[in-house]
A and B are shown apart, each in its own frame.
Chain A
Amino acid sequence: DAGVIQSPRHEVTEMGQEVTLRCKPISGHDYLFWYRQTMMRGLELLIYFNNNVPIDDSGMPEDRFSAKMPNASFSTLKIQPSEPRDSAVYFCASRLAVYNEQFFGPGTRLTVL
């Protein structure tokens, strides 16, 4: 298995533009998590899904952020409109229900100018 796959790996955009981050979890995993990492705030959980259903989105910073999981092998995190303070590394992670270990993807480094 290739592990969790994220795309793009790097994204540079201008303030006000829409940004879409993509994630493919490990095949067969039941849970998918989206995190944001910054120096100031550390690793923050934004939202997580269980069997494609959003369970907890209390970490989503505001209405500009939305996430979907249309099927078991794909999820998106969308920011519209983007702002400079959204600049961060965004990680996707997945896990099996019977095990607690989360496997992280390589991350997407987002820079909003």
Chain B
Amino acid sequence: GENVEQHPSTLSVQEGDSAVIKCTYSDSASNYFPWYKQELGKRPQLIIDIRSNVGEKKDQRIAVTLNKTAKHFSLHITETQPEDSAVYFCAASNRDDKIIFGKGTRLHILP
């Protein structure tokens, strides 16, 4: 089955700097890669996703990149703000519809 590895587990960046979170997946049949953000005590919420026929996608300060050959995908947050502090989960999904999540990255934005 699919296995998703996520790094780093914890990341601290100065406010205004960029943050990058990286994930790898094992199943070459995976074709959908969402990223979820979970604030403390809240539910995970989708922030951006990418499909395997696209290499990059941007939404304001957030971008995702996908390298299908290497089975890598990454989340990039630019001009980080205090409200970006949260746990971020990458995930991968193949044709059988279930999503497998990475272990999460706790992002701290330092003042």
Would you call B43 and A56 a contact (CB within 8 A)? no
Main secondary structure of the interface of A (DSSP, over half): strand
Residues of B with C-beta under 8 A to A100: 32, 34, 49, 93, 99
B103/A42 in contact, CB under 8 A: yes
With A91-B44, A105-B43 as contacts: A43 and B49 at CB distance below 8 Å: no
What separation, in Å, do the CA atoms of A50 and B95 have in the docked complex?
14
- The yes or no answer to A102 lying at the interface (CB within 8 A) is yes
- Across the interface, do B46 and A48 meet the contact criterion of CB distance under 8 Å? no
Judged by a CB distance under 8 angstroms, whether A101 is at the interface is yes
Q: What CA separation (Å) do A102 and B32 show in the bound complex?
A: 12
User: In the complex, A13→B49 CA distance in Å?
Assistant: 38
Task: Kindly list chain B residues whose C-beta atoms are within 8 Å of the C-beta of A105.
Answer: 43
Q: Are B99 and A106 in contact (CB under 8 A)?
A: no
Chain B 21-60 interface 0/1 with A at a Cβ cutoff of 8 Å (1 = within): 0000000000010100000001111100100000000000
What's the minimum C-beta distance from A65 to chain B, rounded to whole angstroms? 17
Interface size counted on chain B using CB atoms at 8 A: 20
Question: Are A43 and B43 in contact, with the CB atoms below 8 A?
Answer: no
Question: Contact at A43–B44, with CB atoms within 8 Å?
Answer: yes
Report whether A43 and B93 are in contact in the complex, using a CB–CB cutoff of 8 Å: no
A102 touches B46 (CB 8 A): yes
User: Is B98 located at the chain interface by the 8 A CB criterion?
Assistant: yes
Name B's A-contacting residues (CB within 8 A).
1, 32, 34, 42-46, 49, 89, 93, 96-104
Q: A42-B103, A91-B44, A101-B34 are in contact. List 14 more A-B contacts (CB 8 A).
A: A33-B99, A42-B89, A42-B102, A44-B101, A45-B99, A45-B101, A55-B96, A55-B97, A91-B43, A100-B49, A102-B34, A105-B43, A106-B43, A107-B43
